[in-house]
Structure 1
Amino acid sequence: MVETASPTVWRRWLAFELVRLRKEAGLEQKDVAKALRCTVAKVSYYETAERPVVLRDLDEVLLPLFKVPKSQWPDYIDAAKHSRTKGWWESYSEIVPSWFSLYVGLEQGANQVQTYAAQAVPGLLQTSDYVHALLRRGTTERTDDEIEQMATVRLARRAVLEREPDPLRLWAVLDEAVLRRLVGGREVMRGQLEHLVKMAGKPKITIQVLPFDRGAHPGVIGPFTVIGFAWSGDPGVAYVEHRAGGFYLEQPHEIEAHEVAFAHLSALALAPDESVTFIERLAEEYR
């Protein structure tokens, strides 16, 4: 059973389990729909985590239908209850669009994130000054209050790196351009680079730098993130963001393509210790 504080990931785990249990029972979605007296579309919503499962549907129909042993029922019922709660980020729905709220929910419940950054420091590794400088230079017109709220959300996301008892495992490959782009001025950049050095010293955080002299590489297409989860059977999610939203790629071949690309980028990049030395040297240049 999954353990997470993210209702998004509770929903995802339960959805995967419902698919597994249905297939093991030799049933199709139409059979489940008949038992629930609902449309096949509703069953599909449950199985893709688009909607939280109704508790009555679960304990009165689905668990008996799938012949789940009574001793295991509490796990599924607890998951359904947790999946219907609200994540802290959902209280910022006025400024966090639904497409990105999903990302935050997945990130907050993940056990591993691998990310390639081509232009800016990944959100989980940004300092407050860097965040504000980025938001003020964005293409979206925002009020000062909106900028503060967005900064609050982004900075709050970092708590997952200190999560107890199991912090998120973060592996970031940063293009050299990320470190050389002067965001917010020399003092802000120096603080940001010093923060990267500090974070790289944590046991579950790996930071690598991909220098310009490596030439062409798999990341020239653009930045991406691969999110992994703690339970077996879930291949994870590859995420690619654009100006108006984000793509959540969940087909096995899509995830594999991004995992292979990340492996190649990691192999081309400086080793973690060399990367820290590289970042420290750049930080000195900003003095």
Structure 2
Amino acid sequence: MSKGREIDGSTGVSEFYGKELRYKREAAGLTLEQVVEGSFYGISYLSEIERGKRRMPEDLARHVDRLMETDGLFERRCDDVRRARTRGHAKFFERALEAERRAETIEEWCPTVFPGLLQTEPYIRALFRAERPLEPREKTDVKVNARLARATLLEDDHAKPEYWLILHESLLRTPVLPPRQLAEQLDRVASLGRRQRIFPQVVPWNAGAHPFVTGGSAKIMTFADEPPLVYTESLHTGCTIDDPGLVKQYRRSYDLLRAAALPPEASLAMIEAAAEDCRNGEQPDGLERRYLA
């Protein structure tokens, strides 16, 4: 039997779990198709589990244990994988975190902070310190490292997801960090944009009313083999939405928001100008108007 690309099981619990699953399956002489037969899951789903890209559901783990006679091994280890994959993240974010890793497209609206996938370490620490000023540093470190690890999604210029981002202009001037560190945060966004790894747009301060003017953040995710999801978040809580009607409404609202935003090239110029101002020690109280139509 031919084998696919070898998985490095030393990189984490999920990868080790997937490597063990594939080893047991191949040792039993079973194909992916044979393993999923009689379950509610497809071949691509099981393949992603073997590659450490997706968490094993408990019902599928029980099915695998019965089929391969592994005495409950994979069901017992399901929770270990879940804890490893979500360590450092809020419980309400778990489903969105899993979805983010396998999304084909992500479209995000962030009105008050840069999204987690783009945050630099100083920016992350400033946010956690503001929310939990007395938290021990070691606990904060776990959360900071978990958020930084999410950014590996954007390291490969040819990998999924295709990531669209809409920011509000005021965010470019919010002094969450000292000017030079804020410049580094802005540079990260601009660099990814120039590499065409992300497609940022900015809603100018004078754009007027738009569909999200009274709402919080929103993230719309689409996938190759499953329906789209929406994730929204506010302080201390988040919500993953899969109702087709609601997802459709969010999709329409996001399209209207995109129409109110500046084009990507003009948006990048605005972000780069804000970064340069920060490097020069300039952080005006008001919003810049020179790039607005």
Shared fold, TM over 0.5: yes
* Structure 1 segments unaligned to the other structure (5+ residues): 21-48, 62-79
Structure 1 stretches of 4+ moved >6 Å: 58-61
Q: Of residues 254, 260, 275 in structure 1, which corresponds to 2:252?
A: 260
Shift of the 141–104 alpha-carbon distance from structure 1 to 2, 3 Å rule, reads farther
Q: Would the aligned equivalents of 1:134 and 1:184 in 2 still touch at CA under 8 Å?
A: no
Q: Give 1:102 deviation, angstroms.
A: 2.3
Unaligned runs of 5+ in 2: 1-11, 19-35, 43-54, 68-73, 281-293
* Structure (1 or 2) with the greater helix fraction: 1
- 1:68-217 aligned within 5 A: 84=78, 90=84, 93=87, 95-139=88-132, 141-163=134-156, 166-217=159-210
CA–CA distance in 2 between the matches of 1:270 and 1:6?
A: 42
Distance 1:168 1:88, change over 3 A: farther
Partner of 1:38: none
- 1:214 & 1:92 partners in 2: Cα distance? 38
Q: Which residue of 1 aligns with 2:49?
A: none
Q: 1:273 aligns with which of 265, 281, 284?
A: 265
**Mapped contact 1:162–1:168 kept (Cα < 8 A):** no
| Alignment CA distance shift 1:59-1:178 (3 Å) | same
Whole-Å separation in 1 of the counterparts to 2:206 and 2:102: 36
What is the rounded CA distance, in whole Å, between the counterparts of 1:87 and 1:202 in structure 2?
33
**Equivalent pair of 2:126/2:176 in contact (CA under 8 Å):** yes
Per the TM alignment, residue 90 of structure 1 is displaced from its structure 2 partner at its CA by 2.4
Q: Secondary structure at the match of 1:207?
A: strand
Q: Tell me the residue number matched to 2:216.
A: 222
Q: How many residues align?
A: 228
How much has 1:190 moved relative to structure 2? 0.9
Tell me which amino acid in the other structure corresponds to 1:100.
Answer: F
Distance of 2:239 and 2:207 partners within structure 1: 28
The residue identity in structure 2 corresponding to 1:223 is: S
Alpha-carbon separation, structure 2, partners of 1:54 and 1:135: 37
- Deviation (angstroms), 1:163: 4.7
Provide closer, same or farther for how the CA distance between residues 230 and 135 of structure 1 changes in structure 2, counting only shifts above 3 A: same
CA RMSD of superposed structures (Å): 3.3
Identity %: 25
Q: Residue in 2 aligned with 1:67? A: none
Contact 2:216 2:234 in 1 (8 A): no
Distance 1:167 1:85, change over 3 A: farther
* Separation of aligned partners in 1, 2:206 and 2:92: 36
